[in-house]
Amino acid sequence: MLSYTLKRLAFAVPTLLVVITISFFLMRAAPGGPFDGERQLPPEIEANLKAAYHLDEPLPMQYLRYMGNLAQGDFGPSFKYKDFSVTELIMQGFPVSLEIGGLAIGLALLIGLPLGVIAALKRNSTIDYLVMSLALGGIAVPNFVIAPIMALVFGVLLGWLPAGGWNGGALPNLVLPVIALSIQQIAYIARMMRASMIETMGSHFIRTARAKGLSEVQVVLRHALRPSLLPVVSYLGPAIAAIVTGSVVIEQIFGIPGIGRYFVQGALNRDYTLVMGTVVFYGALIVLMNLLVDLLYSALDPQIRYND
């Protein structure tokens, strides 16, 4: 187990390096500098600014400096939000994004898994068709369509819930964004769970379990559930990545002060360090999550060979 963990870690580090390197050189290859903007700066001021941000050094130097700073958790200053460092901005936004994203993943599993199991056990019944049609709908309608419509209906027309804003994370403000963020994942997880459950229920060891005289409930709970969960667990990595990505839009639509908003603002404003900082941060987050998912998978499946 330890060696497996180490191996996955050894894989995560180069991945992160690739992310950092790609984003660093992409940003530096950008036409136009960070100080092109509202008005032309006098050359000496621009030179001073560049020196202050070490933009006058040769590229490899800048790269090494950036890596060194990153290692200390310093993402550098924001070019646009002049009073904040990128680290400060991320740390401000992260708890908010984490809350929304974590709740969304939780909700997706809480609803998606049972739906998938029920659909599989009642295969080809009305319930099955209903669940699968809803799931297909959830996959076909993207969250940036659902979110504004939900805001329109429940926020504006019915007035049940706030159509936007954060309000310090009050519960009513959480409901719509979390649901909007999780719908697509609920759909994916339900479909996947159904397919894998159907496959498991058709396998030989389920027949053996029935031949032992177990009741259907015991067969499902003791024998079918855990093997069926494995594909869903390995999907959790991509699911988390999708939720993180989706949160960018959802934060935008509902006006939530998470990292996603800084990211989009930074991208539109060409705030290099901010965009890079968020990309690296998101990258690290996703790599870390993938690592955790891998470990969870190996804990669930006795057949996995750690030295493989």
Partner 1 sequence: MSALLELAHLSVTFDLPTGPVTAVKDVSLEVKAGETVALVGESGSGKSVTSTAIMRLLPELARIEGEIRFDGKTLTNLKDRDIRALRGNDIGMVFQEPMTSLNPMHRIERQIREVLEKHTDLRGNKARARVLELLKQVGIPEPERRIKSYPHELSGGQRQRVVIAMAIACEPKLLIADEPTTALDVTVQAQILELLGELQARYGLAILFITHDLNLVRHVADRVCVMQHGDLVEQGPTRDVFANPSHDYTRMLLAAEPDGVKAPVADDAPVVLDARDVHVRFTTKRHLFRPDETFEAVRGIDLRVRRGQTVGIVGESGSGKSTLGRALLRLLPSTGQIVFDEMALQPLDQKALRPLRKRLQVVFQDPFGSLSPRMTVGEIISEGLKVHFPELSRREREARVIEALGEVKLDPAMRARYPHEFSGGQRQRIAIARALVLKPEFLLLDEPTSALDRSVQVTVVNLLRELQKKHGLTYVFISHDLSVVRAMSDTVLVMKDGAVVEHGPSEAIFTAPRVDYTRKLIEASFIDRVA
Partner 2 sequence: MTSTTTPYRGEHDDTPLPAGGPNPPAGPDKNTGESLGREAWRRLKQNKAAMASLVILTLMALICFIGPHLLPWALDEVDWSNFQTAPSLENGHYFGTDANGRDILVRTLFGGQVSLSVALVATFVSLVIGVLYGAVAGYVGGRTDNLMMRFVDIMYSLPFMFLVILLMVVFGRNIFLIYAAIGAVEWLDMARIVRGQTLALKRREFIEAAHALGVGGPTIVRRHLIPNTLGPVIIYVTLTVPKVILLESFLSFLGLGVQEPLTSWGVLISEGKDMMESAPWMLIVPSVFLAVTLFCLNFLGDGLRDALDPKTR
**Site residues, partner 2 (CB under 8 A):** 11-12, 14-15, 18-19, 22-23, 26-27, 29-31, 136-137, 139-142, 144-145, 148-149, 151-152, 156, 207, 237, 241, 244-245, 248-249, 252-253, 263-264, 267-268, 270, 275-276, 278-279, 282-283, 286-287, 290
* Long-range contacts of the stretch 97-101 (C-beta < 8 A, 24+): 97/244, 97/247, 97/251, 97/258, 97/259, 97/260, 99/169, 99/174, 100/174, 100/177, 100/178, 100/181, 100/247, 100/250, 100/251, 100/256, 100/258, 101/181, 101/240, 101/243, 101/244, 101/247
Asked if 306 touches partner 1 (CB under 8 A), the answer is no
Does position 54 interact with partner 1 (CB under 8 A)? The reply is no
CB of 107 to partner 2, least distance (A): 21
Q: Which is nearer to partner 1, 230 or 292 (CB)?
A: 230
Q: Is 227 in the site for partner 1 (CB under 8 A)?
A: yes
Least gap, CB of 20 to partner 1 (angstroms): 23
* Options 184-192, 254-262, 286-294, 297-305: segment touching partner 1 (CB under 8 A): 297-305
Question: Is 126 among the residues that bind partner 1 (CB under 8 A)?
Answer: no
Q: Under the rule (CB under 8 A), what is the footprint of partner 1?
A: 203-205, 207-215, 222-223, 226-227, 300-303, 307-308
